[in-house]
Amino acid sequence: MSCAFVRAHARGRNECQVPVATFEKLQCSKSNRFLSAPTRFRKRLDQIYLRAISSCFDEFNRCGGAFVKTNGEIVHFQRAAIVAVYADLPAARKVALTGSACNVCFTPKNNMASGTTATLRTFAAMAEKKQELLSMLDEAENQTAVKAIRKEATDLGVDLEVVTGFATRGGQLGIFGPDSELDHPWSALPAVFLHGMEAGTLVKLPEAALDHALNKATQAGISATSVCRELDNFCATVAAARCRNTNVELGRHELMSHNYGISEHMLNRRTLDGALL
């Protein structure tokens, strides 16, 4: 957790950056790990953890805040709120409970490129959509219809069995902000998904360039191996020169050097740090 609204010289101090909670990892045998019952249990357990976190915010706000000594100064924190949730995609899905669908609206994964406008996710919209799908399940005449409805729920990113632990309790001020229509977990997560899209674009650009170069080389009678070796030799030369990017926005995460080239990573659809796409 990081405090956002404090003076600049105090914002990066350790006093302003503290761990909120640690989720206990549930141990499960390999044969049972992906069965429905353990999966549902893990989902519910995650939301219990999130509810415990949100209850700390609720209690802090009910008490009128607190005076905290930060970097030698006394700062009055009147209210605690979650401005944004920074996490990788699997962790973000645990918060949003939207699966592969858009976390901002009800657009399924396969329709994200269509450019259509969908209803934005809010607590009210999610509850209404969930109730609609549950009513359809009650009226389903056979198992085929049940499977179709559950698939629709999965495509829309609506979990029919688990409720988010960040749901606002009656009469309480929401921990994401005062407006329940605009301030909620789904509005705090876009940065995660946008970063993933950005990273994907940056990976596809060099991959497409290498693919184009290999096709042109093959047409000219040059083997793909020769092209890859030339590219890798260039990368090795750059690595040997020990060039480093000093952009302050990168902080300590300077550009990686690749002593043995990058063509193998790209041809195997891996990012330049070796992670599988």
Question: pLDDT digits over 109-142, tens only?
Answer: 888 777 666 788 888 899 999 999 999 999 888 9
d(CA 73, CA 15): 11
- pTM more than 0.75: no
In this structure, the answer to whether residues 93 and 131 fall within a common structural domain is: no
Residue that terminates a domain, selected from 171, 188, 205: 188
- The reported pLDDT for the residue numbered 170 is 63
Can you tell me the distance from the alpha carbon of 239 to that of 255, in angstroms, rounded to the nearest whole number? 10
Q: Considering the domain boundaries, does residue 273 fall inside one?
A: no
If asked whether residues 141 and 178 sit together in one domain, one would say no
Residue 114: how many CB atoms within 10 A of its CB? 10
272 within some domain = no
Q: Are 177 and 63 contained in the same domain? A: yes
The residues facing 67 across adjacent strands are 76
Per the domain annotation, does 123 fall within a domain?
Answer: yes
Neighbouring residues of 6: CB distance < 8 A, sequence distance ≥ 6: 16, 70, 75
- Tell me whether residue 222 is in a domain: yes
CB proximity list for 249: less than 8 A, separation 6 or greater: none
Residues 127 and 156 in one domain: yes
Tell me the per-residue pLDDT of 39-56, one tens digit each, with 9 for 90 and over: 888 888 888 888 888 888
69 and 51, same domain (yes or no):
yes
**pLDDT band, residue 272 (cuts 50/70/90):** low
Residue at which a domain ends, from 173, 188, 203: 188
277, part of any domain: no
Q: Per the domain annotation, does 220 fall within a domain? A: yes
Note whether 6 and 91 are same-domain residues: yes
79 falls within a domain: yes
41/92 same-domain check: yes
User: Are 134 and 68 in a shared domain?
Assistant: no
Residues 251 and 175 in one domain: no
Are 181 and 198 members of one domain?
no
Query: What's the mean per-residue pLDDT of the chain?
Result: 77
Domain count of the chain? 3
Range of the domain at 1: 1-97+162-188
Q: Are residues 207 and 169 in the same domain?
A: no
Cα distances (Å, whole numbers) of residue 217 to 231, 233, 263: 13, 17, 15
Structural domain contains residue 68: yes
Percent of the chain with pLDDT over 90: 15
pLDDT over threshold 60, residue 242: yes
Q: Note the pLDDT of residue 128.
A: 92
Q: Are residues 64 and 148 in the same domain?
A: no
Length of the chain: 277
At 73 the three-state DSSP class reads strand
Measured distance CA(170)–CA(8) in Å, rounded: 36
